[in-house]
Amino acid sequence: MRRTSTRLADGRELIYYDADPPENGHAPAARRVPRPDPRPAPATAPASTTELRVDELAGETVAYAAHRQDRTFLPPAESCPLCPATDARSEEIPEHDYQVAVFENRFPSFGGGRGRCELVCFTADHDRSFADLTPDRAALVLDAWTDRTAELSRLPGVRQVYCFENRGVEIGVTLHHPHGQIYAYPYLPPRTARTLAALARHRAETGENLPDRLLADELADGRRVVATTDHWVAFVPYAARWPYELHLRPRRRVPDLTALDPAERAEFPELYLRLLRGFDRLFGDDAPPTPYIAAWHQAPVGDQEPDEPHCAREEFALRLELLTVRRGPGKLKYLAGSESGAGAFVSDVLPEAAAERLREVTTP
């Protein structure tokens, strides 16, 4: 992998990732010399106006980012800010072509020294999806996720690095170009805090690691296992919340992407592409593309707060969660009164039935 860092006109960082050796002959023979951003520099550098408040009843942090009300919303393809620049127009990426590009979000949920938000463009091709990528390109995206995890984890005040992709307007996508995001949270997200508490409690009560026990249980039961390789297991969790929810994790417990070994990294692209392509077949070959969220849950970083459960990073198990809000052809799972109001999920699909269907559509 070749990494080339530059700056946009307003000072935001932009990083190009190129395959090395060249991917299908398209990567530059020498190190990339980035094309300057031709747009005029603003009078002042952008700054996040995010405010963080704590809901004391729930014990959860809420971020307010009013500046995001003006972010780009479903532009036509010819105005996509994530497409490569042309001689006639330039948006966020000045190059006329690229493989994988990462840059600071123009409309961050937080930032200005309190965390960071980045966009990850998986390809220059506006009309493709992640599932359309080659294994080599998927491997390059994994390299980019890993590199950003390592770098963002070192930023002062960052508590967790969360790499994710939203696909589909049903999920809330505002740009159709195939891309994901990375949030370097300046606080511990609520779900992660609850996970840490569960890990600490289970270790204290049983002396064992909870993710290891859960993975062993899934492998022993087998009904919810969707796919396995030498180094990875994909399964629907016993208490899945979403109609179709898949967890993908290494057999070996590691805290984050930086801890994956070469064999684990080599196996990931083809398996992940197989799962994504299966998701698109869940509701029939004629159905529209399946909306989904794909997200890496990684161990927290930085210093623990006094009110956080004490739990070593090594207790945490890296996993990717892949889920859809579609519960059937033409039907969505809405988070209505129980889910949104009380935080109590009621699912429409049994995990065992979801796993059976996922095995059907992901079997090579």
Q: How far apart are CA 166 and CA 293, in angstroms?
A: 5
pLDDT at 112: 79
User: What structural domains does the chain harbor?
Assistant: 2-185 (3.30.428.10), 190-362 (3.30.428.10)
pLDDT at 4: 97
> What's at 264, amino acid-wise?
E
Q: Is residue 146 within 8 Å of residue 256, measured between CB atoms? A: no
pLDDT digits (tens, 9 = 90+) for 188-221: 999 999 999 999 999 999 999 999 999 999 999 9
pLDDT tier, 44 (very low <50, low <70, confident <90, very high otherwise): low
Task: With CA atoms as reference, report the closest residue to 222 among 231, 213, 235, 210.
Answer: 235
pLDDT at 22: 66
Q: How far apart are CA 141 and CA 120, in angstroms?
A: 8
pLDDT at 364: 85
Is the bond into 21 cis (omega within 30 degrees of 0)? yes
pLDDT at 26: 54
Which CA distances in Å does 257 have to 144, 254, 319? Answer: 10, 8, 9
Interacting residues of 113 by C-beta distance below 8 A, sequence separation 6+: 156, 157
> Over 70: is that where the pLDDT of 24 sits?
no
Q: How far apart are CA 333 and CA 255, in angstroms?
A: 31
Average pLDDT on 327-338 reads 96
> Over 90: is that where the pLDDT of 244 sits?
yes
pLDDT at 48: 64
pLDDT at 49: 77
pLDDT at 306: 82
- Range with lowest mean pLDDT among 17-21, 179-183, 246-250, 291-295: 17-21
pLDDT digits (tens, 9 = 90+) for 112-170: 788 999 999 999 999 999 999 999 999 999 999 999 999 999 999 999 999 999 999 99
Written as one string, the DSSP assignment of 283-302 is T-TTSPPPPEEEEEE----S
Mean pLDDT of the chain, nearest integer: 94
Written as one string, the DSSP assignment of 212-251 is HHHHHHHHHH-TTEEEE-SSEEEE--TT--SSEEEEEEES
179 belongs to the catalytic site = yes
pLDDT at 41: 87
pLDDT at 42: 84
> Over 60: is that where the pLDDT of 29 sits?
no
Among the listed residues 67, 126, 177, 179, the single catalytic one is 179
pLDDT at 30: 60
CA torsion sign for 126, 131, 137, 138 is positive
> Over 70: is that where the pLDDT of 242 sits?
yes
pLDDT at 43: 67
> Over 90: is that where the pLDDT of 47 sits?
no
In the chain, pLDDT over 70 holds for what percent of residues?
96
pLDDT at 205: 97
Average pLDDT on 88-107 reads 95
Higher pLDDT: 358 or 43? It is 358
pLDDT at 31: 74
Whole-prediction pTM value? Answer: 0.96
Q: How far apart are CA 178 and CA 125, in angstroms?
A: 8
pLDDT at 309: 78
Higher pLDDT: 31 or 20? It is 20
Q: Is residue 152 within 8 Å of residue 182, measured between CB atoms? A: yes
Average pLDDT on 225-249 reads 98
Q: Which strand (E) or helix (H) includes residue 163?
A: strand 160-167
pLDDT digits (tens, 9 = 90+) for 316-332: 999 999 999 999 999 99
Average pLDDT on 16-27 reads 74
340 secondary structure, DSSP code = I
Q: Is residue 130 within 8 Å of residue 70, measured between CB atoms? A: no
